[in-house]
Amino acid sequence: MVSERIGSHEDLLWANSLLGTGGERPLWQALSDWRCLSVEGQLLARPLAALLCAVWEAAPETGVRLLWTLPEGLQVDGIDPTGYANGVRALIGGSRERLILVAPYLEGQGIGQLQDELLGALARGVSVVLITQDANSLGSCASASLESLRREARGLPGRLLVYSGPVTAPVLLHSKLIVVDGVSAAIGSANLTGNALLRNLETGVIVGAQQALEIERVVRAAIKLGHVHLVFSIEPSPL
């Protein structure tokens, strides 16, 4: 049924022969929880594969990969000193449906390192969610660094949503995450700043579908429960 449209649990009644009476409902819920359905309701292959692996307690991951930013003068054989930025760009460039970026601190040079890939994702119709802090203050560095992306995103078929978290307790935004299509994610120390992506000593790791989907669930809960607030959204232009 991959690529077929599943509109509701009633399209899964065949599951009763395998799961018993009413079995279509938990199957429908599992497909929803694991983000196996596109916005249009089509069954997606990769999230489905991750769900099946989880059911069978198999590892749905490929090998874990480290990402590095190495400062000038620190040379290590076999390690790309700009691997963090290159790895993040590759992840964004491979997105097809949805993309989540979480970073407490943004500035123009850091966003500039990723802007072409972000605009490319929006041009493909990807839904991009960016969560940071202090973006709701017009004079902040975060707000200024997003202005070019905001302008360029207008008229593209993708959707851009920017959320902002508080800069003081009780809840502080400290995670640095990039999640692509619920299939892979980068977790690490780097904010989206020029120093983090070009000059600091930073370390990240790319993980697979099981962790990516868990991150998505946490981010959706943070949005739903009001830990971060929508600052602005750029919606696709009507046809």
Q: Check whether 58 has a pLDDT greater than 80.
A: no
SS3 for 61? coil
- Where helices occur in the chain by DSSP H, the ranges are 16-19, 24-33, 45-55, 83-93, 108-123, 141-153, 194, 209-224
Q: In this structure, what are the phi and psi dihedrals at residue 46, rounded to the nearest 5 degrees?
A: -70, -50
Q: Which residue bears the tokens 């199957």?
A: 27
Q: What is the mean pLDDT of the chain?
A: 90
Q: How far apart are CA 115 and CA 131, in angstroms?
A: 15
The pLDDT tens digits for 114-158 are 999 999 999 999 999 999 999 988 889 999 999 999 999 999 999
- pLDDT recorded at residue 63: 63
Which of 103-117, 163-177, 204-218 comes out lowest in average pLDDT? 163-177
CB 178 within 8 Å of CB 92: yes
Q: What number is the average pLDDT over the span 210-224?
A: 92
Q: Is the dihedral of CA 38, 135, 101, 165 positive or negative?
A: negative
The whole-angstrom separation of Cα 41 and Cα 5 is 5
Tokens of 166: 């508080």
Q: pLDDT tier at 102 (50, 70, 90 boundaries)?
A: very high
Strand partners, 237: none
Q: Residue 113: pLDDT above 80? A: yes
Q: What is the pTM of this model?
A: 0.76
Q: Is 170 exposed, middle or buried (0-12, 13-18, 19+ CB in 10 A)?
A: exposed
Mean pLDDT, to the nearest integer, of 164-170? Answer: 81
pLDDT the model gives residue 237: 66
Backbone angles phi, psi at 234, to 5 degrees: -115, 115
Q: What pLDDT does 198 receive?
A: 95
DSSP β-bridge partners for residue 67? 204
